[in-house]
A = this chain, B = another copy of it.
Amino acid sequence: MGPGPSDVPPRILNAMARPTLGHLDPLFIGLMDETKKLLQYAFQTQNPLTMPVSAPGSAGMEACFVNLIEPGDKVLVCINGVFGNRMVENVERCGGKAIVIKDEWGTQTDLNKVEDALKAQPDIKILAFVHAETSTGVRNEAKTLCELAAKHDCLTIVDAVTSLGGIELKVDEWGIDAVYSGSQKCLSCVPGISPVSFSERAVKVIQNRSTKVQSWFLDMNLIVGYWGAGNKRAYHHTAPVNSMYAMYESLLMLKEEGLENAWQRHQTGHNELAKGLASLGLSLAVDENYRLPQLNVVRIPKGVDDGEIRQRLLSEFNLEIGAGLGDFAGKVWRIGLMGYACKPRNIDHCIAALKKVLN
């Protein structure tokens, strides 16, 4: 019950252990096609360029930035946690100019500041923000941020690592241009795969670059030949075949459950957990109006030893919860209710274990 990787259900682990097909085998290509369709459902998009990058979420993030940014491009980055900072790193390493809006850890990105910045600098090309900040448990207003970007003719890059499958995310309806996620959060797949999707507008930008994408491995102009439509696939790299079995299985499970049902399950689980935490006198650090159900940031009570408690939960109760990062280090715990891990027996176990170690 940490901030991810989340528990992986046996069905997905079993899928992993199937014999490794050749990565250009017709059966595997069929699985790639089905995976793309299922991902379109999960992202709520019709974008043809929707696929899993063969590497962790950090590489999915990098794929979005290196493909859309050319040297000198201005990118407005919203920071209210760890992953906004990482976006700035990406912008700068692409030769872009990052304009930064900072908000306090545990609060949302201020929409007024974003609008002011977009008005003041009409040459901003991209607005980048994190939908669900795993380091703080905050949900940013993705829909409204995308509307602001559209109003000022900006592209959007959205970090949906922790949001996909856990809370409402509608790529097409909200007008997101580039989005990346991770396999190991609310999809409860094994870590190592990063689903991404690019709008047709973003694809045009990528196709009309005046410079080459700086990463060969992440160049969408090349990858599209491997993951593209039809039976003719151009060899680019060797896909992590067994991890793709797991990805497919996890997306199939999401489809079977239904996206809205999955969102609701996370919300219900959160409500139960919050009730339990309150009964122990523990409080959540994030306002109810923009709190993530799948990532619960709990204030560590005064006088309680952070490391000792987490160590005891792990060794005595086989229960992992997450430490605070950055500004939140030593001040909070992060309890994940992601995907398969979000179920009543886990919530009961967590509350019972916390009760024992805190007394």
Contacts and interface: CB of A to CB of B under 8 A. Distances in A.
Interface of A: 2, 4-5, 7-8, 13-14, 16-20, 22-23, 25-26, 54-59, 61-62, 86, 89-90, 92-94, 182, 184, 190-193, 212-217, 235-243, 246, 314, 320, 325
A153 to B, nearest CB: 27
Given A92-B212, A325-B235, A192 B243 contact: yes
B58 A212 contact: no
B13 A191 contact: no
Contacts of A23: 5, 191
Contact of A54 (B14, B55, B239): B55
Given A8-B19, A54-B55, A58-B236, A216 B86 contact: yes
A20 B190 contact: yes
B213 A93 contact: yes
Contacts of A4: 238
Contacts of A20: 5, 7-8, 13, 184, 190-191
Which of A13, A215, A236 has the most chain B CB atoms inside 10 A of its CB?
A215
B217 A55 contact: yes
Given A20-B191, A54-B192, A86-B216, 18 more contacts: A8-B20, A13-B19, A17-B17, A20-B190, A25-B314, A26-B314, A55-B56, A56-B217, A56-B240, A58-B217, A62-B217, A90-B216, A190-B242, A192-B192, A192-B243, A214-B215, A215-B215, A240-B243
Contacts of A61: 217
Contacts of A16: 13, 16-17, 242
Nearest to A237: B58
29 contacts: A5-B20, A5-B22, A13-B18, A14-B17, A25-B320, A54-B55, A54-B56, A55-B56, A55-B59, A55-B217, A56-B238, A56-B239, A58-B216, A58-B236, A59-B59, A62-B216, A62-B217, A92-B212, A93-B214, A94-B214, A182-B238, A184-B238, A192-B192, A192-B239, A192-B240, A192-B241, A215-B215, A242-B243, A243-B243
B243 A57 contact: no
Contacts of A217: 55-56, 58-59, 61-62
A352 to B, nearest CB: 20
Contacts of A213: 93
A64 to B, nearest CB: 12
Contacts of A19: 7-8, 13
A23 B182 CA distance: 14
B17 A239 contact: no
Nearest to A8: B20
A42 to B, nearest CB: 19
| Chain A to chain B: the 8 pairs with minimum beta-carbon distance, closest first | A192-B240, A55-B55, A17-B17, A58-B237, A190-B242, A13-B17, A8-B20, A191-B238
Nearest to A236: B58
A221 B24 CA distance: 35
A16 B93 CA distance: 34
A340 to B, nearest CB: 10
Nearest to A323: B24
